[in-house]
Structure 1
Amino acid sequence: MPKVIWWGHSDLNYSRNRICRQLLQSLGYELIDFSPHISALADIEAHLIGLPLADLVWVPCFRHRDVVAATRWARQKHIPVLFDPLISAWQKRVYERRKYAAGSAAAQRWLAREIRWLQAVDMVLLDTEPQRQMFIQRFKLEPAKTACVYVGAEQPLFAPLAVVKQPSGPVEVLFYGSFIALHGVNTVIEAARLLAGQPHIQWVLLGEGSAKASAQQQAAGLTNVSFESSVPYAQLPRRIAQADIVLGVFGDSQKSSQVIPNKVFQALACARPVITRTSLAYPTEDSRLLKGGLVQIEAANPVALAQAVAQWASCSREQRSPARAVYDTYFSEVKLQQQLLAALASMGLSAGQA
């Protein structure tokens, strides 16, 4: 059985990590977890403990700091390295947190550092094609050393559930997340304000985050908007099933135009229609099917969001959405397996015997 070393202090319960681990195991790979005490010295620790040889070293998402030591050790053992960053450390600091100005010396140092990290590995795994193209151009990567695997949704956890809803009950529009700028929560609240005169449409914002308080202040006085605390991950599918429409993201940042957020995959897997900002990250092979379960609108446009919600709300619940068909066609586990197999094959690896 081929082996993969999962290298780094990663959150094994984070959905991207859970899905990638499940995919590797479904393809017949044995996972060897290695969580070094000090990332920068991890290769020394690996030597001291006698870390076993493997067919691949996998550095999981967000673990940029583990790349240098992982590649040092792997090169000595002639083992290829795959890095699944999910985000750019440079992009996050410059364009999301706005910690550094784009042309500042600090930003340029981060950019140079990330170029070294990414060019050191044998494969950089991204989650969408626009994100892949950005990484190729910004970090000067060889296209053949990059590949895409959608984030997806965990199966069978996220699946259609039967929830009893009164036919004449209110239409529930559900947003959930951590209230970061990428989400464009202000757009959601302003859209709800535009539909305040339609009490049969209720907006629920679920989750926690540092900007939640400001969102609650913005929504003060709106009787059609309510806030809920986060629910345990295992209970999220049932909460999604209680909603009629699920909202994606509406921010106008560069990153929000390049990604498909977790919630979009999860809602579609639960057979709930999604409204989100337009993005080239979504497949375009059959726009008729895609539009049936996924409505894309202009970013940061509360008028467009209000119109889209009102249009969906005017339909009967039975006629609303082939959302699960969209998920099965484009984002299923089989599709993700095929994407990962293609990435591994380009590295000279193949599926094991599961």
Structure 2
Amino acid sequence: MKTVLIWGRGDPGYSRNRIVVRLFTELGWQVRFFRPFSSQLGLLHSLWTRPERPDLIWVPCFRHDDIGSASFWARKWQVPLVVDPFISSFAKAVLERKKYPTGSSAAEKLRQREAALLERADLVFADTRCHADFFVQQLGVRPEKTSVLPVGAEEELFYPMEWPEDQESIDILFYGSFLRLHGIETIIQAAALCRDLPARWTILGDGDLRSGLLQQAAGLANVSFEPWIPYAELPKRMARAHILLGIFGDTPQAARVIPNKVFQSMAISRPVITRTSAAYDGTIGGAEEIGWVEAGDHQGLAATVRRWLQNPHQLCERGHRTRQLYETYFSQERLRSILARSLDRVVLHD
């Protein structure tokens, strides 16, 4: 049995990380963890504790600061180093949050630092081809060192759910952490155009943008907010909805991702409306089962909802077809096959 050592201070409860652990286990790998008390002191901690040599080191998502110590041991043990950054720290700080001006010395320093870290990896995973292309074009990762592993959904939680009993009032649900890339203001604007429809728009979650969104939705009787709920309870709440919403933001990051909520909504067999982007190319891009609208297009979102509600009895069948799309492109079986083929490129077999 081969062993993968998951290295760093990644969140073991984060969906992407849990799915990766499950995939490795299903492929027959033993999964071990090394979690330093500090990423900055990770090398010192590892020299003190001396982890047992694995067959592969995996640095999970968002853990750029752990790549340095992981690469030291990968070279020492002569085992592959695989990095799953999920997002670019440079893109997040400079292109999304505008912490540093594009082209500034601070931005370039951050870009070069990330590029140097990813260069140490034998294989760099991305969740979409758009993200992989960004790593290649902006961070200098060699194309042959990239592989795309979609996020998928935790199928023990997100599986086909019974259609809601309430057929009179359509429940349109968005859930998330209220990030700019979500484009929730577009959802509220669309709801304002649909006040004549027998539909309620529910926004579930929390985040820094909440107060502004509450103000924007003031006076809209068809929009309600619900507080965040435990992750394990989320599928049941989703199952009460007739239509689930993805993201609608026009940020660069929004154009590169397929959000968790899209995979999860497809997995429970609900109709999904979300923004178009090249992130879906090669998988479900253009599929008629999905309600596609342009980024930030509240009129397009409202028009899609209005069109779907002309024949509400067809929503259930649309949901079933959406689940079939999920099984074709994003099922655990599909992801397991992708991971196995990718690892074959760097792992030596006895």
- Same fold per superposition (TM over 0.5): yes
- By how many angstroms is 1:163 displaced? 4.8
- By how many angstroms is 1:61 displaced? 0.3
| Alignment root-mean-square deviation, CA | 1.5
- Whichever residue aligns with residue 313 of structure 1, its letter is L
Contact kept, 8 Å, 2:56 with 2:347, in 1: the verdict is no
Aligned CA distance change for structure 1 residues 303 and 150 (closer, same or farther; 3 Å): same
Aligned to 2:169: 170
Which deviations, in whole Å up to 9, do the C-alpha atoms of 1:222-254 show, x marking residues without a partner? Answer: 000000011111111111110011110001111
Counterparts of 1:59 and 1:318, CA distance in 2: 40
Aligned CA distance change for structure 1 residues 254 and 287 (closer, same or farther; 3 Å): closer
Aligned CA distance change for structure 1 residues 188 and 344 (closer, same or farther; 3 Å): same
Aligned to 2:27: 27
The answer to whether residue 34 in structure 2 is matched with residue 38 in structure 1 is no
- By how many angstroms is 1:311 displaced? 1.3
- By how many angstroms is 1:166 displaced? 2.7
Aligned CA distance change for structure 1 residues 12 and 301 (closer, same or farther; 3 Å): same
Counterparts of 1:245 and 1:34, CA distance in 2: 41
The answer to whether residue 17 in structure 2 is matched with residue 17 in structure 1 is yes
The answer to whether residue 217 in structure 2 is matched with residue 211 in structure 1 is no
* Residue aligned with 1:48, SS: helix
Aligned to 1:78: 78
Which deviations, in whole Å up to 9, do the C-alpha atoms of 1:74-115 show, x marking residues without a partner? Answer: 211111111100010000001211111111111111001001
Which deviations, in whole Å up to 9, do the C-alpha atoms of 1:173-206 show, x marking residues without a partner? Answer: 10100110000011000000111122x0110000
Which deviations, in whole Å up to 9, do the C-alpha atoms of 1:111-134 show, x marking residues without a partner? Answer: 010010111111110001111111
Range that drifts further, 177-186 or 42-51? 42-51
Contact kept, 8 Å, 2:270 with 2:316, in 1: the verdict is no
Q: TM-score, normalised by structure 1?
A: 0.95
* Residue aligned with 1:240, SS: helix
Counterparts of 1:57 and 1:188, CA distance in 2: 41
Identity %: 42
Counterparts of 1:136 and 1:170, CA distance in 2: 47
* Residue aligned with 1:20, SS: helix
Q: Which consecutive unaligned segments of at least 5 residues does structure 2 have?
A: none
- By how many angstroms is 1:258 displaced? 1.1
Aligned to 2:159: 159
Counterparts of 1:191 and 1:101, CA distance in 2: 32
Counterparts of 1:286 and 1:255, CA distance in 2: 19
Contact kept, 8 Å, 1:170 with 1:202, in 2: the verdict is yes
Counterparts of 2:238 and 2:330, CA distance in 1: 18
What pairs up with 1:308-319 in 2 under 5 angstroms? 308-315=304-311, 316=313, 317-319=315-317
- By how many angstroms is 1:287 displaced? 6.3
Aligned to 1:123: 123
What pairs up with 1:275-354 in 2 under 5 angstroms? 275-284=273-282, 290-292=287-289, 294-315=290-311, 316=313, 317-321=315-319, 322-349=321-348
Aligned to 1:191: 190
Counterparts of 1:105 and 1:23, CA distance in 2: 40
Counterparts of 2:105 and 2:283, CA distance in 1: 42
- By how many angstroms is 1:164 displaced? 4.2
